Amino acid sequence: MSNVPVDNGRRRFLTAATSVVGGVGVVGWAVPFIGSWNPSERAKAAGAPVEVNVGKIEKGQMIRAEWRGKPVYIVRRTEKMLAELKLADVTDQLRDPNSEEAQQPSYATNFNRSIKAELWVGLGVCTHLGCAPTYEKDTMGERVKALDNGFFCPCHGSTYDLSGRVFQGVPAPLNLMVPEHSYISGDRIIIGVGPDASGGKA
């Protein structure tokens, strides 16, 4: 079990140090942005479920994990953030507000697109050409009227709400993907294994 190198110079996002135990990647508490990965650790983790401690994520905070070589965003949304997801002024502008496209497991087809309302787990991979959207906390109003929080893709300007639902009129064609995941305790989730397979609970 060994930790990966950490780039302490970037502090906008917190992310997780990852190790591999018995074939399952285990992500401990969040540390500042991972700037690079040890290839051997990446190779070990590729394809394996990743366990993440979400207990210390503060309200309004996002951390990043990595699963199958892709960034996974985990956001603990505030009550205000959750209320924004239901604003008619906002949902009327969404391309797939009811998650009818196959971009999430069935247990994440609610407006939260999550198992527990406050905790959103989604791939940080824009559905246009795969750039990493930025987390716009309290700054989304510059891009979408009536919305304070969401995601913005800097590559070609796609916008998403804080459930990863894409807005109309942008290059991205689909909502951000929600990966299979489940809770193995109140503070720990596992990415890559759904509730039915793991016995995890909501």
Q: Which stretch binds ligand FES (CB under 6 A): 64-72, 97-105, 137-145, 151-159?
A: 151-159
The Cβ of residue 112 has, within 10 Å, a number of other Cβ atoms equal to: 19
Does position 155 interact with ligand FES (CB under 6 A)? The reply is yes
Choosing from 99, 158, 163, 175, the residue that interacts with ligand FES (CB under 6 A) is 158
Measure the CA–CA gap between 29 and 19, rounded to whole angstroms: 12
For the chain, the 3-state helix, strand and coil shares in percent, each to the nearest 5, are: 15, 30, 60
Per-residue H/E/C for 114-183: CCCCCEEEEECCCCCCCCCCEEECCCHHHCCCCCCCEEECCCCCCEECCCCCEECCCCCCCCCCCCCEEE
- 74 near ligand FES (CB under 6 A): no
**DSSP strand pairing (159-160 vs 150-152):** antiparallel
Among 33-41, 64-72, 95-103, 153-161, the segment contacting ligand FES (CB under 6 A): 153-161
Cβ-based nearer residue to ligand FES, 5 or 130: 130
Residue 168 in tokens: 């109309």
We find the least distance from the C-beta atom of residue 111 to ligand FES, in angstroms, to be: 23
Tokens coding 73: 């965003």
Q: Is there a catalytic annotation at residue 181?
A: no
- Count of CB atoms situated within 10 Å of the CB of 30: 22
In the set 12, 56, 145, 156, the catalytic residue is 156
Q: Which is nearer to ligand FES, 48 or 132 (CB)?
A: 132
Using an 8 Å Cβ cutoff, are 120 and 75 in contact? yes
Give how many residues touch ligand FES by CB under 6 A: 12
Q: Does 28 bind ligand FES (CB under 6 A)?
A: no
Q: Is 168 in the site for ligand FES (CB under 6 A)?
A: no
- The reply to whether 176 sits near ligand FES by the rule CB under 6 A is no
- Window 90 to 129, contacts with ligand FES (CB under 6 A): 126, 128-129
Interface pick for ligand FES out of 57, 81, 172, 189 (rule CB under 6 A): 172
What tokens were used for 63? 């951390």
Of these, 20, 24, 131, 174, which contacts ligand FES (CB under 6 A)?
131
Binding-site ranges for ligand FES (CB under 6 A)? 126, 128-131, 153, 155-158, 171-172
Which residues are the active-site residues? Answer: 156
